[in-house]
């Protein structure tokens, strides 16, 4: 189609057509069946395809272009490379390949033409044939597909409209239809029902899982209570909670009313030095405390320890609305939008990043978690994290403390157990984004994504101390945006049990509540939702192999300036306080207010009050901050302390140390997807062919210069010729620099990389975009590659490349 043509491709009513295709193909797509080169999932059908398509690869993927076929099914947009191996029909299917994206993860579809871009919607019309298809995803990815000049125009238009028609914005109605389309087929239900969960993973869904955690951490004096087995005490807490052994269930039931939402103090983790980490909600006001209630409350709060420190997170942590706004701004900044005229200039990019406050919130979470980790290192105390109005921030700090202090939580199995324990079963608004299960479109704060970013900051500073890798964190980040996993489809264990229409227990009037045995098959649900930890269902074996890495032995970190983190909290309060004292840690300072515990009288003589405050390191000089930051990393004479694996990983919090997660937020930016040399495929890319011919001509010039006689006049003729030709550069003639002296000194390169290096920068910029090559014989620019004509067997034969804008006056 010529540029400027008034031919319009209007969207058709494709829904009935799609239904007919799905009905006609549903019986044909058996498990592992190879349909037009695509290994379809059970019950998956192909709606549209386009041949001779090139996919832009990111720098991490090797850069360049990859030729293949583009498919659109009722579940995903799949890209199959030309040189990909045929999948094994006996192997288990993978939901998403390395170049695929689920329709539910797509946020925007943009078509790029010769001279304009357009946001494609189901009701819009296109007045041009797309040359590029850009898919903006909700997980910060941007997929760019380039249609070849030999791709039929009907295929380019049809697949663009099919994707725009099939994907829908995430709303309760569209999410349910997507879930039924992806997992609701008979073949998929049968396939998922035959899969079993990982028996080696601790799911924390029964009392046995919590008992294993108590045994692993060496916590004594605690037990697993099932007082909330039917979610009667608290609907947001899990069925099983760890409480002190000295508190009976009959006494424990009376303590739920003294805390908001019934979220009593419950055990989370024990430090090897003897400290316990607890979480609880704020106290209820205007409640009468009987004598027995006070005894039980203090037993639950202290957990057998003599001292208790309550960490207040309400004043320091950001609100959910602030986190949501910061993430939205960060997404807009990092992704950009080629269909929008608003863009951030390069010289304003860093200042715009600072104005999002996303890194400030990460720094705040890391600082508070590091302070709690230093407290736990002191030993023999109970540190209680008091939940603010939004309990998700409490979960972020609690999880970060365990990642900093426990090496087991830095492994893949341990990290999955940590997320399962502190997020999935602990009763939190875990979704961190749109509430798929609610009848509203309200978007929640991406708190879990904030937690993943904090973990990446620790990984970036201490990569050798982690078994999990950045690829694993990226996989978990992307899975959060896919509403197909049972782990993300509820805010509490109670909602998850109601969604699955069964409880993992049975009740009889005689025997009462009885847990189902481990490994028993669960009741089928419609549609079945697999857990997110079934990585073999989501990713290939090659990608799963990049989830882990070897872990080296811990070493003493060098002394560094640690920003405004108070790592040397004053310890005098630890010795001055009497047994039973309760302290408050807020804004890096300690205090002992009289009204900290509602049931304790302010004039009671049995509890010592102190208002001694540890000075914040924000007001200290740089040298004093350096000394305090180094206090925890000073060499010790005892080698066991020097290599203690439970030494906390204290993050560096100075400005340059907290960085942008480039591998996540900038992986889809168009400027990050450099137009580098394409990867090798069955057919050679025109740029490779062009660079190869240029190198061949340069080698011939070098050989011809060696055969010339030793004559001063003749040796200077090529220079005069080159100088004369270079004078035409101002008139629009460009040359590849081919100095005879440089060609004599450098041996001819045979590799492709040497061929690329011979292309000058200007020629690379012109030839880097195959969709806009230089027009020859148009009177504007001429590219001269040498003064000798190539032989007949070396003529350039272009392979299929990007669509070329057809302009009047060009003969093709």
In sequence order, the 6+-apart residues with CB closer than 8 A to the CB of 716 are: none
At residue 420, the pLDDT reads: 93
CA distances from 340 to 331, 344, 351 (A): 14, 11, 21
660 preceded by a cis bond (ω within 30 of 0): no
Give the pLDDT score at 554.
Answer: 62
pLDDT per 10-residue tile (average), the chain, 812 residues:
40 43 41 67 89 88 88 93 78 86 91 89 86 92 92 94 82 66 79 85 93 96 95 92 95 93 94 95 85 90 92 87 92 78 79 95 95 91 86 89 96 96 75 39 76 97 95 95 84 77 42 41 58 92 92 62 57 60 88 85 40 38 39 45 76 91 84 40 57 85 75 47 41 40 43 41 42 42 40 45 48 44
SS3 326: helix
Nearest to 162 by CA among 102, 74, 81, 100: 74
Q: What is the DSSP letter of 253?
A: G
Could you give the CA distance from residue 188 to residue 193 in angstroms, rounded to a whole number?
Answer: 8
Q: What are 723's two structure tokens?
A: 């100088």
- pLDDT at residue number 365: 95
Distance CA 295, CA 599 (A): 10
SS3 content of the chain, % helix, strand, coil (to 5): 40, 15, 50
Residues 6+ apart with CB under 8 A from 414: 406, 407, 408
pLDDT in the model for residue 570: 54
Per DSSP bridges, beta strands 382-386 and 308-312 are parallel
Under 8 Å between Cβ of 690 and 91: no
Q: How many CA atoms lie within 13 A of 241 on its CB side?
A: 33
- Give the CA distances from residue 622 to residues 178, 562, 613, 629, 655, in Å, rounded to whole numbers and listed in that order: 56, 10, 20, 10, 14
DSSP-H helix ranges across 682-811: 686-707, 712-726, 740-745, 752-757, 761-767
Burial of 16 (0-12, 13-18, 19+ CB in 10 A): exposed
Dist. CA 197–CA 373, nearest whole Å: 33
Determine the longest span between alpha carbons in the chain, in angstroms. 113
Place of tokens 């946001």: 119
d(CA 344, CA 757): 32
Single out the residue of 740, 706, 726, 745 nearest to residue 784, CA to CA: 726
Please report the sign of the dihedral spanned by the C-alpha atoms of residue 662, residue 664, residue 666, residue 670.
positive
For 61, the token pair is 């993927």
Tell me the Cα Rg of the chain.
32
Cα separation of 1 and 7, whole Å? Answer: 8
Q: What are φ and ψ of residue 787, in 5° steps? A: -105, 5
Q: State residue 326's pLDDT score.
A: 95
Q: What number of residues does the chain have?
A: 812
240, with CB counted inside 10 A (0-12, 13-18, 19+), is buried
Token output for 618: 């924000």
Is residue 440 helix, strand or coil? Answer: coil
Whole-model pTM: value is: 0.74
**CA 339 and chain centroid, separation:** 25
Compute CA 272 distance to the chain's CA centroid, rounded to the nearest angstrom.
31
**Structure tokens that stand for 754 in this block:** 């040497």
* Rounded Cα gap, residues 64 and 56, in angstroms: 6
**What's the pLDDT at 678?**
38
Give the whole-angstrom CA distance, residue 57 versus residue 64: 5
Please tell me whether residue 365 adopts helix, strand or coil conformation. Answer: helix
In DSSP notation, 93-115 reads P-SS-TT-EEGGGEEEEEEE-SS
Angle between helices 186-193 and 172-183 (to 10 degrees): 80
Give me the pLDDT at residue 692, please.
83
Q: Which fold has domain 31-194?
A: PH-domain like (2.30.29)
Euclidean distance between CA atoms 21 and 575, whole angstroms = 76
Q: Using an 8 Å Cβ cutoff, are 467 and 412 in contact?
A: yes
Count the Cβ atoms, other than its own, within 10 Å of residue 159.
Answer: 24
Both tokens of residue 258? Answer: 């003294």
Number of H helices, E strands in the chain: 26, 24
SS3 assignment, position 507: strand
Q: Where in the chain is the domain with CATH 2.30.29.30?
A: 31-194
The Cα 536–Cα 539 span in angstroms is 6
pLDDT of residue 154: 93
Other C-beta atoms closer than 10 Å to the C-beta of 708 total 12
Tokens of 25: 């193909």
Please enumerate in sequence order all residues whose Cβ is within 8 A of that of 227, keeping only pairs 6 or more positions apart, or say none. 233, 241, 249, 252, 253
Cα separation of 481 and 164, whole Å? 19
DSSP-H helix ranges across 533-684: 535-538, 541-544, 572-576, 622-630, 639-642, 662-665
Tokens of 606: 């049995």
Q: CA 165 to CA 121: how far, in whole Å?
A: 7
CA distance 336 to 342: 9
Q: Specify the DSSP class assigned to residue 802.
A: B
Tokens of 567: 């790592």
CA distance 85 to 804: 31
Place of tokens 């304009």: 116
How far is it, in rounded angstroms, from Cα 424 to Cα 480?
12
Of residues 147, 150, 109, 153, the one with CA closest to residue 131: 147
Going by their DSSP bridges, the two strands 241-244 and 266-270 should be labelled as unpaired
């Amino acid at each position: 189609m010529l540029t400027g043509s008034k031919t319009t491709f209007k969207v058709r009513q494709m829904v009935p057509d799609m239904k007919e295709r799905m009905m006609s193909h549903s019986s044909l797509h058996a498990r592992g069946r190879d349909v037009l080169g695509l290994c379809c999932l059970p019950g998956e059908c192909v709606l549209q395809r386009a041949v001779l398509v090139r996919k832009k690869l990111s720098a991490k993927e090797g850069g360049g272009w990859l030729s293949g076929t583009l498919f659109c099914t009722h579940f995903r947009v799949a890209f199959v490379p030309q040189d990909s191996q045929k999948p094994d029909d006996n192997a288990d299917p993978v939901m998403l390949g390395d170049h695929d994206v689920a329709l539910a993860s797509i946020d925007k579809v943009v078509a790029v033409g010769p001279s304009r871009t357009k946001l494609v919607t189901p009701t819009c019309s296109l007045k041009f044939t797309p040359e590029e298809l850009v898919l903006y995803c909700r997980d910060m990815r941007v997929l760019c597909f380039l249609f070849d000049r030999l791709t039929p125009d009907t295929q380019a238009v049809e697949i663009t409209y099919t994707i725009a028609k099939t994907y829908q914005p995430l709303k309760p109605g569209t999410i349910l239809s997507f879930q039924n389309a992806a997992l609701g087929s008979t073949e998929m239900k049968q396939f998922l029902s035959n899969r079993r969960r990982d028996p080696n993973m601790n799911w924390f869904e029964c009392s046995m899982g919590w008992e294993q955690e108590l045994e692993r951490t060496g916590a004594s004096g605690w037990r697993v209570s099932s007082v909330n087995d039917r979610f009667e005490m608290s609907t947001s807490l899990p069925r099983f909670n760890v409480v002190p052994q000295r508190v009976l269930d009959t006494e424990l039931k009376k303590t739920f009313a003294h805390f908001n939402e019934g979220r009593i103090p419950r055990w989370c983790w024990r430090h090897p030095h003897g400290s316990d980490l607890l979480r609880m909600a704020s106290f209820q006001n205007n409640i009468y405390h009987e004598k027995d209630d006070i005894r039980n409350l203090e037993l639950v709060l202290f957990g057998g320890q003599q001292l208790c420190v309550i960490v207040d997170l309400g004043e320091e942590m950001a609100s959910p609305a602030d986190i949501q706004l910061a993430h939205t701004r960060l997404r807009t900044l990092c992704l950009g939008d080629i269909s929008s005229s608003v863009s951030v200039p390069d010289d304003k990019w860093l200042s715009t990043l600072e104005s999002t406050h996303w890194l400030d919130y990460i720094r705040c979470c890391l600082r508070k978690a590091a302070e709690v980790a230093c407290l736990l290192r002191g030993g023999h105390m109970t540190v209680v994290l008091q939940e603010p109005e939004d309990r998700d921030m409490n979960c972020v700090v609690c999880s970060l403390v365990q990642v900093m202090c426990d090496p087991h939580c830095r492994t893949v199995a341990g990290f999955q157990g940590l997320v399962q324990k502190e997020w999935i079963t602990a009763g939190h608004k875990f979704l961190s984004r749109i509430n798929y299960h609610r009848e509203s479109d309200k978007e929640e704060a991406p708190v879990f994504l904030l937690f993943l970013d904090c973990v990446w900051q620790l990984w970036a500073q201490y990569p050798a101390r982690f078994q999990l890798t950045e690829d694993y964190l990226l996989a978990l980040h992307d899975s959060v945006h896919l509403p197909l996993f049972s782990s993300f489809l509820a805010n509490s264990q109670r909602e998850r049990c109601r969604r699955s229409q069964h409880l993992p227990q049975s009740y009889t009037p005689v025997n009462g509540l009885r847990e189902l045995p481990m490994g028993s098959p669960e009741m089928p649900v419609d549609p079945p939702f697999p857990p997110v930890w079934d990585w073999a269902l989501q990713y290939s074996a090659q990608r799963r192999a990049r989830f882990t890495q070897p872990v080296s032995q811990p070493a003493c970190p060098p002394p560094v300036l640690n920003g405004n983190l108070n790592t040397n909290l004053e310890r005098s309060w630890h010795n001055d306080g009497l047994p039973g004292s309760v302290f408050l840690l807020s804004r890096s300072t300690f205090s002992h207010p009289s009204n900290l515990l509602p049931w304790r009288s302010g004039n009671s003589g049995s509890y010592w009050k102190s208002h001694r405050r540890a000075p914040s390191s924000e007001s200290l000089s740089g040298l004093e901050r350096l000394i305090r930051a180094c206090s925890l990393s000073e060499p010790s004479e005892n080698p066991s302390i020097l290599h203690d694996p439970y030494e906390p990983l204290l993050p560096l919090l100075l400005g340059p140390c907290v960085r942008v997660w480039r591998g996540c937020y900038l992986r889809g930016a168009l400027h990050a997807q450099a137009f580098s040399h394409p990867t090798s495929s069955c057919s050679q890319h025109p740029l490779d062919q062009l660079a190869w011919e240029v190198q061949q001509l340069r080698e011939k010039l070098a050989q011809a210069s060696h055969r010339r006689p030793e004559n001063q006049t003749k040796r200077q003729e090529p220079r005069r010729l080159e100088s004369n030709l270079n004078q035409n550069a101002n008139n629009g003639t460009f040359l590849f620099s081919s100095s005879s002296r440089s060609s004599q000194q450098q041996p001819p390169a045979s590799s492709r990389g040497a061929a690329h290096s011979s292309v000058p920068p200007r020629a690379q910029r012109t030839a880097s975009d195959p969709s806009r090559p230089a027009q020859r014989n148009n009177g504007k620019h001429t590219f001269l590659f040498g003064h000798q004509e190539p032989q007949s067997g070396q003529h350039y034969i272009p392979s299929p490349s990007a669509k070329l804008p057809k302009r009047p006056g060009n003969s093709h």
